[in-house]
């Protein structure tokens, strides 16, 4: 018979008594944790809960910005500093300016200064242009230029009209030749609401052809959500 040493028996008995190590996983009291969710209690999981006591440090609408981070409407996740500011009456990106990105969708912009006329093309006999433009606000100004020739056998003349001006807005239209500096020369102008028009007449035995320009701006009431109709008619 094999004799088992007493010491070995004692070691085996002790092994059986070694307690198993248990890793306790804390229960998540807020299983809905999501990025931007600052409600509930952070239990050390991968969620976003933090203990924020200053309400202006908290991102209430989950758009990634708190009031202190520049969110000017912390109840609307579509309004925050990373947003495009489209034409909707709101300062979507909280920079204090309104609708400044709406101009990016306007194919005629930028056309505000002497170096940025939008050229409509050459106006041949009996041809006319008609475009729909927008004054995005009262500081906006739109410049359109076009070429008209003056054949010796024709009476020279054309009319520029601005229609669909909003009833509660006052717009101004200016017409003249575009000089070498890019500014208008021999300017005539008119302002009002509803509809405006200006007419250019030529002189006999004088070549009145050349590049003419129209400037449209607002005395008041311009709005990116409203368009005007500009027409140039020869004859
Ligand atoms: Ca926010
Ligand atoms: Ca803005
Ligand atoms: Ca806007
Ligand atoms: Ca403009």
pLDDT tens digits, one per residue of 111-130: 999 999 999 999 886 688 89
> Is residue 16 pLDDT above 50, yes or no?
no
CB within 5 A of ion ligand 3: which residues? 85, 88, 90, 92, 99
* Terminal-to-terminal C-alpha distance of the chain: 131
**Per-residue model confidence (pLDDT) at position 9:** 42
| CA nearest to 98, candidates 222, 228, 219 | 222
User: Which tokens go with 203?
Assistant: 């002189």
CB atoms within 10 A of CB 219: 13
CA distance 174 to 184: 8
What pLDDT score was predicted for residue 198?
98
CA 36–ligand 1 middle distance (angstroms): 8
CA of 66 relative to ligand 1 center, distance in Å: 5
Identify the DSSP state of 33: -
Sheet holding 128-134, edge to edge: 128-134, 227-234, 157-165, 194-201
Confidence of residue 48 (pLDDT cuts 50, 70, 90): low
Distance from the CA of 94 to the center of ligand 1, in angstroms? 11
| Residue-range domain boundaries for the chain | 27-83, 108-234
Q: In which band, very low, low, confident or very high, does the pLDDT at 12 lie, cut at 50, 70 and 90?
A: very low
- Architecture of the structural domain at 108-234: Sandwich (2.60)
Q: What is the pLDDT of residues 193-220, one digit of tens each?
A: 999 999 999 988 889 999 999 999 999 9
- CA of 113 from ligand 1 middle (Å) equals 37
pLDDT per position as a tens digit, 128-137: 889 999 999 9
Cα 98 to middle of ligand 1, angstroms: 19
By the 10 Å C-beta count (0-12 exposed, 13-18 middle, 19+ buried), 94 is classed as buried
What is the per-residue pLDDT across 90-114, written as a single tens digit (0 to 9) for each? 999 999 998 889 888 899 999 999 9
Distance 6 CA to ligand 3 centre (A): 87
Average pLDDT on 177-204 reads 95
Mean pLDDT of 156-164: 95
Q: Is 31 left (phi over 0), alpha (psi -120 to 50) or beta?
A: alpha
Q: What residues are neighbours of ligand 2 (ion), with CB under 5 Å?
A: 85, 91, 93, 95, 97
> 181 — phi, psi (to 5°)?
-80, -10
Structure tokens at 81: 């500093």
Please report which confidence band the pLDDT of residue 23 belongs to, taking 50, 70 and 90 as the band edges.
very low
CA of 97 to the centre of ligand 3 (A): 8
Interatomic CA distance for residues 100 and 112, integer angstroms: 14
Whether 174 contacts 189, CB under 8 Å: yes
Q: Give 101 Cα–ligand 3 centroid separation in angstroms.
A: 8
Q: Which residues surround ligand 1, an ion (CB under 5 A)?
A: 59, 61, 63, 65, 71, 74
């Amino acid at each position: 018979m094999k004799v088992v040493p007493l010491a070995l028996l004692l070691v085996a008995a002790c092994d059986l008594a070694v307690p198993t190590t248990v890793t306790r996983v804390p229960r998540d009291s807020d299983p809905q944790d999501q990025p931007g969710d600052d409600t509930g209690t952070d239990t050390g999981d991968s969620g976003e809960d933090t203990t924020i006591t200053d309400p202006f440090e908290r991102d209430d609408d989950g758009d990634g910005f708190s009031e202190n981070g520049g969110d000017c409407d912390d109840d609307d996740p579509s309004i925050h500093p990373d947003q495009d500011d489209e034409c909707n009456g709101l300062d979507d990106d909280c920079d204090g300016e309104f609708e400044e990105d709406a101009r990016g969708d306007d194919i005629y912009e930028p056309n505000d200064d002497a170096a940025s006329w939008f050229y409509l093309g050459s106006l041949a006999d009996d041809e006319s242009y008609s475009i729909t433009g927008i004054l995005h606000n009262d500081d906006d100004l739109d410049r359109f230029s076009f070429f008209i020739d003056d054949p010796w056998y024709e009476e020279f003349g054309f009319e520029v009209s601005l229609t669909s001006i909003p009833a509660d807005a006052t717009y101004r239209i200016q017409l003249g030749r575009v000089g070498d500096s890019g500014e208008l020369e021999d300017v005539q102008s008119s302002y009002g609401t509803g509809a405006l028009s200006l007419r250019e007449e030529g002189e006999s035995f004088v070549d009145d052809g050349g590049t003419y320009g129209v400037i449209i701006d607002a005395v008041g009431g311009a709005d990116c959500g409203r368009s005007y109709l500009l027409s140039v008619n020869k004859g």
